[in-house]
Structure 1
Amino acid sequence: MPTDSQHHSTPSRLDAWTIFLVFLRLGLTSFGGPIAHLGYFREEFVQRRRWLDERSYADLVALCQFLPGPASSQVGLAIGLLRGGYRGSLAAWAGFTLPSAIALTLFALGIATWGDALPAGVLQGLKIVAVAVVAQAVWGMARTLCTDAPRIAIALAAASTVLLLPFIWSQVAVIAAAGLIGVVFFRPATTEAHVVLPVAVKRRAALTALALFFALLMLLPLLASGTD
């Protein structure tokens, strides 16, 4: 429930077409991987359009990082859901995903047909540019979230752990441990003012989706091992 220190204004709902066009522009201009996309999203939806505040966006990113799959796609789906319901979520996914899917398909067809004509080093150059884009996104989020020495130390420790232990469950363990550390040592004395995000999902639908998630999480590895 919102407290007195929170903003009670609910962000206005947007139609699916508007959400689609906004995410389509991002899909056509955002390069790099999920971390870079999170930086683009923050610049577009927090700083420019003010669809979210910093705290709400950071909460969404933290939640989506804890889930399996690309965090940027999940954050985009969540933003579309918050601003336009289920249609807005679908519009956000389509607008952001279709450009890269179409470009990747055309690129694959082009490589298969004219691969020998592609100058040497082009792909390597694109990878180098992507590194710079990701670094800029990480730096922008770090300046907002890592504001003091303890938070910087936790971020460095988490990064070192996942680099030294490159396993799936080590990433989950690091995220869970960081959450526990935050609850114990970084609980704010007073609740900071922030926009309370409207959740356009009914409780029954949320519980059904959660049960389906855990069912697939347990069954899919068993099915995969059975097909080997």
Structure 2
Amino acid sequence: MAPPPPKRRKGERTRQVRSLIFLRDVAVLAFTAFGGPQAHVAMMLRLLVEKRRYISANELLELQALCALLPGPTSTQTITVIGYRLGGPNLAYLTLIVWAAPAVTLMTVAALTLSYLNPVHMQHLVQFVQPVAVGFVAFSAYKISEKVIRTKTAVGLTVASAMVAYFFQLPWVLPVLLVAGGAITTVRYRRHAIIENKQPVRIEWANFVLWLGILIGAAVLGSYTQLLPVRLFENFYRNGSLVFGGGQVLAPLLYAEFVEFKQYLTGPEFLSGLGLVQAVPGPNFSLAAYIGALAMRPQGGGTAGQLLGAVVGTTAIFLPGTFLIFFAIRFWDRLRQYRVVQASLEGVNAVSAGLVCAAAALLYHPLPYRLLALPFKAGPIDSIPLNPLLVGLTFLLLLWDKVPSAAIVLTALVAGAVVG
């Protein structure tokens, strides 16, 4: 067989190099993205959009909104689907692994060394990271608003969605706001140009069937088997399939299932893990590795058994969201060719900007009560007078655009270690 043309080989090498650079950028985010989904998206906007230009800001918002309408970890799904856009399924799976690996590893080590952990020391270490994360989210709100708010309708949707999201912190509010915002701006579909030769929308059901098949199969197998790893897989897979709103919504569900109902962990053990997952970079869903490792202690398998529990918990919690985003993204690009969908994106993006604004406000000064209560109480971070200055300084450094995001986060960690 004749070798491929040189241009093709050169094109393949270029794509491989770009994929490696992208994975390196994902690794940087995985080690420095503190602060939860909103801060993660803010750092993606800065590195993947502003610096690298893998996608545009509008595309990032569209993908984030699409992921928010699906169950699973929103920021993880978003960065995974960016990898899919750039290099197909193989790069997407590698992106998921690189993104989740640091947090999962740290939470597994935390479970294995639970008796040696001091959550107070960890809180000292990250005491300056949270206000820095708020600065990232505030900067993201500014940049996103600058790019997507171009009409009075968009301004109104941004303000209204920010207010609703701030005062009503319920898991169903976010998808309802996104759908409502898109519906409001669909009336402007005639302003969008008609795309000739549109490709027909063809839905490939393979990933959806795979998700549903595993959900049902795991439930059936878990009800008839006495193997704890199988039951753990079913528990985590079910929770990962049914939770909307990210890690802050997942936490009380896992607490009810694994502490109150099954009693695999004690309350203090769970709260220690919940505090630690806020102190590590990357996805909050990595809490499943910690819970899975501790849940395997009664099996008597030692470290190997606990590692198996961590692997089972991690795999089961991330798989559902991955299957569902792979299912949706395959027909989304064709669906968005239609004028009605294009018009709806104006409203979706405006609502997304409002949600980021609300996230910045909530992270800076949480309400004295939460409609969705976690099994612990968190106080406002502005109890330390220095924090408002850190938020403002972070915003200005990001606006200056000369200091890497990783350097800002690492400086905050070093300062926390020295002061702590």
Work out whether the TM-score is over 0.5: yes
Moved over 6 A (4+): none
Pair 1:54-2:61 in alignment: no
Q: Higher mean Cα deviation, 34-43 or 12-21?
A: 12-21
Alpha-carbon separation, structure 1, partners of 2:175 and 2:167: 14
**What's the counterpart of residue 164 of structure 1?**
167
CA deviations over 1:9-37 (Å, ceiling 9, x no partner): xxx74465444323112212322211122
Pair 1:34-2:32 in alignment: no
Q: Kindly indicate whether the alpha-carbon contact (under 8 Å) linking 2:57 and 2:144 is maintained by their aligned counterparts in 1.
A: no
> Which among 91, 96, 106 is matched to residue 93 of structure 1?
96
Q: Kindly indicate whether the alpha-carbon contact (under 8 Å) linking 2:79 and 2:96 is maintained by their aligned counterparts in 1.
A: yes
Q: CA deviation at 1:77?
A: 0.8
**What's the counterpart of residue 142 of structure 1?**
145
TM-score with structure 1 setting the length: 0.70
Identity of aligned residues (%): 23
**What's the counterpart of residue 406 of structure 2?**
none
SS in 1 for 2:29: helix
Distance 1:113 1:60, change over 3 A: same
Alpha-carbon separation, structure 1, partners of 2:57 and 2:119: 47
Distance 1:178 1:47, change over 3 A: same
Superposition pairs of residues 1-228 of structure 1, within 5 angstroms: 13-14=15-16, 17-106=20-109, 112-115=115-118, 118=121, 121-185=124-188, 187=189, 189-191=191-193, 206-211=204-209, 220=238
Distance 1:192 1:159, change over 3 A: farther
**What's the counterpart of residue 3 of structure 1?**
none
Alpha-carbon separation, structure 2, partners of 1:192 and 1:102: 49
TM-score with structure 2 setting the length: 0.41
Alpha-carbon separation, structure 2, partners of 1:152 and 1:130: 25
Number of equivalences: 204
Alpha-carbon separation, structure 2, partners of 1:86 and 1:120: 38
SS in 2 for 1:135: helix
Structure with larger Rg? 2
Q: CA deviation at 1:108?
A: 5.8
SS in 2 for 1:118: helix
**What's the counterpart of residue 327 of structure 2?**
none
Alpha-carbon separation, structure 1, partners of 2:190 and 2:77: 27
Give the AA of the match of 1:209. N
Q: CA deviation at 1:73?
A: 0.9
**What's the counterpart of residue 196 of structure 1?**
none
Distance 1:123 1:52, change over 3 A: closer
Q: Kindly indicate whether the alpha-carbon contact (under 8 Å) linking 1:35 and 1:138 is maintained by their aligned counterparts in 2.
A: no
Alpha-carbon separation, structure 2, partners of 1:171 and 1:162: 7
Alpha-carbon separation, structure 2, partners of 1:24 and 1:79: 14
Q: Higher mean Cα deviation, 123-132 or 95-104?
A: 123-132
**Uncovered stretches (5+) of structure 2, i.e. residues with no partner:** 1-13, 196-201, 220-237, 243-252, 254-260, 262-420
Alpha-carbon separation, structure 1, partners of 2:64 and 2:120: 41
Q: Kindly indicate whether the alpha-carbon contact (under 8 Å) linking 1:77 and 1:89 is maintained by their aligned counterparts in 2.
A: yes
Give the AA of the match of 2:152. A
Give the AA of the match of 2:44. F
Alpha-carbon separation, structure 2, partners of 1:48 and 1:113: 40
Q: Kindly indicate whether the alpha-carbon contact (under 8 Å) linking 1:19 and 1:84 is maintained by their aligned counterparts in 2.
A: no
Q: Higher mean Cα deviation, 82-91 or 110-119?
A: 110-119
Give the AA of the match of 1:172. P
Q: CA deviation at 1:90?
A: 0.9
Distance 1:14 1:79, change over 3 A: farther
Alpha-carbon separation, structure 1, partners of 2:56 and 2:123: 44
Q: Kindly indicate whether the alpha-carbon contact (under 8 Å) linking 2:79 and 2:95 is maintained by their aligned counterparts in 1.
A: yes
Distance 1:188 1:52, change over 3 A: farther
Q: Kindly indicate whether the alpha-carbon contact (under 8 Å) linking 2:34 and 2:129 is maintained by their aligned counterparts in 1.
A: no
Give the AA of the match of 1:189. R
CA deviations over 1:129-179 (Å, ceiling 9, x no partner): 332222222222222222343212212211222333332223222121111
**What's the counterpart of residue 380 of structure 2?**
none
